[in-house]
Chain A
């Protein structure tokens, strides 16, 4: 939000530590929330709301991955698989026990957290590329396991139908109803993560990331906090998997393959590592990019390419764009879209006194 610091003096520690220390920011957030919670679903058609729903789901997953990668400095290429753990946990609970969403969502999160923490154990000894490979192995092992154990996957197609969740007896049939449901979880994740990273646990994550020796010397067990980060991050991933399953109406391991892990890494790199707002930007950007490019090429691509070429170009263009953007942001702007946003905001921060 636009911050304006001029003329604001803090009189208590609580005020100094507030999430939005400036009054104008609170109003801006409130206005923004009103826009998205009330006006958007009432005015947009089902198709556009369904795209927003994908973004809301991605926000939860991106925030979780950012806790691990951006804040704690670990890496995971296994988050797609952790999502599938959540998805199949929920699907089995629904099919076998007819469990409601307020059971399936925490259960899916917890199961993913458990498995994520186990996958995180090597982070005690290995870092960087080696940890990346260990989590990649986890991704493949989990994919294989789900695909080959009918008790989990529900049989031949490795997919389980899951009806839309019900809220106080009302099944969420339309995209707009689903939107409000998903918005609740996205907001919870945004506020909760903001709180987490500004208090004891989050500071310890950043300490482990920046200086593991100094972290140890002030009593932060780096091992313990790496595992906590893996567990929290995987919890978010599990919840993301459950939400996505409700959205699709089916749990299917093909929706959680390696490319998904990479998409989520792209979100936080493009959006901004170690940033809440960056996770949101990245989730929106990476969700929208293929949709927008496809629409653009389908509309105007025919002017240059033949229909057959176009069918080849569209899926590959997505990969090329992602690859290019990840490299661009890693090399040129490691702080991602969040940084660009900050530059704009800072311009207005002390306005009208720019110097």
Chain B
């Protein structure tokens, strides 16, 4: 791990997650280009940027879906560069997806119970026998699942298959499943995308609660600037794969490169709409 942390306020020693110089290219597309970012334990940091800036690709490298072309990622002192997603999850990094990845045929409850997987121990034989060890474990973890159901106000839906739920509710179930891992670090990819104002406020409140009450570190990708500026401790801005700014919400908003990146895309959008 090198010491060249942009932004300066975080020294690498106390970083829970240290991303150093990671890049990911797809053919000619530089999805992520030499990004360095440190996240302290308990922090709520937002990653923003125009469409295609590389935000999701960055999360994919942290959670193990993409192997970085260059650079490395260290979590809680362990190098997780290129580790398998299931391994990363077992270390305590949970995640939700931009386009929701629930088990559609399963109930809300089963989805959340699956989130407990890494904390449960029943093997093939004790599952086969069930009565005794496996049953005791099911009951204990069911209690934890019920806590999350209560926290996210999903009581009426626990036995519903997730496929039938409204979009906003499915996002909430996905958050519940991620929280069921009792993660140390939570990666949220546009958890409020496609929601109405009221749903957004609910979701923002859940995320803040988790961050503040449990001290869970959160990396949030979000397009809604009002929400981002409201709840983030720190904001990092990506544009065309590069990190162009990092700092407090206020600092970032005034940063000339950020203003240019956003106005630029707004202008391009107008041109595209006009064409």
Contact = CB atoms under 8 A, between A and B. Distances in A.
Contacts of A222: 86
Contacts, number: 114
Contacts of A221: 84, 86-87
Contacts of A224: 86
Contacts of A83: none
Nearest to B110: A203
Chain B, interface residues (CB within 8 Å), range: 35 or more
B95 interface: yes
Given A204-B117, A218-B177, A219-B90, A213 B65 contact: yes
A152 interface: no
A259 interface: no
A214 B65 CA distance: 11
B114 A228 contact: no
Contact of A218 (B115, B122, B139, B142): B115
Nearest to A198: B130
Given A196-B128, A216-B84, A228-B124, A206 B138 contact: no
B143 interface: yes
SS class, residues of chain B in contact with chain A: helix
A202 B138 CA distance: 13
Contact of A220 (B64, B106, B113, B117): B117
A17 interface: yes
B124 A201 contact: yes
Interface string B68-102: 00000000000000001111011000110100011
Interface in B130-160: 130-131, 134-135, 137-139, 142-143, 146
A17 B139 contact: yes
Nearest to B159: A16
A199 B121 CA distance: 11
B63 interface: yes
Contacts of A216: 64-65, 84-86, 89
A350 B134 CA distance: 31
B76 to A, nearest CB: 16
Contacts of A193: 128
B181 interface: yes
A232 B135 CA distance: 20
A220 B116 CA distance: 10
B127 interface: yes
Given A13-B138, A216-B89, 17 more contacts: A17-B135, A17-B139, A192-B128, A200-B121, A203-B113, A203-B117, A206-B103, A206-B105, A211-B102, A211-B104, A214-B97, A214-B101, A214-B102, A216-B85, A217-B94, A218-B89, A219-B117
Top 6 A-B pairs ranked by shortest CB distance? A195-B130, A219-B89, A219-B118, A216-B85, A214-B101, A221-B86
19 contacts: A199-B122, A200-B121, A201-B123, A201-B127, A202-B127, A203-B114, A206-B103, A206-B105, A211-B103, A211-B104, A213-B65, A216-B85, A216-B89, A217-B85, A217-B86, A217-B97, A217-B101, A220-B86, A232-B124
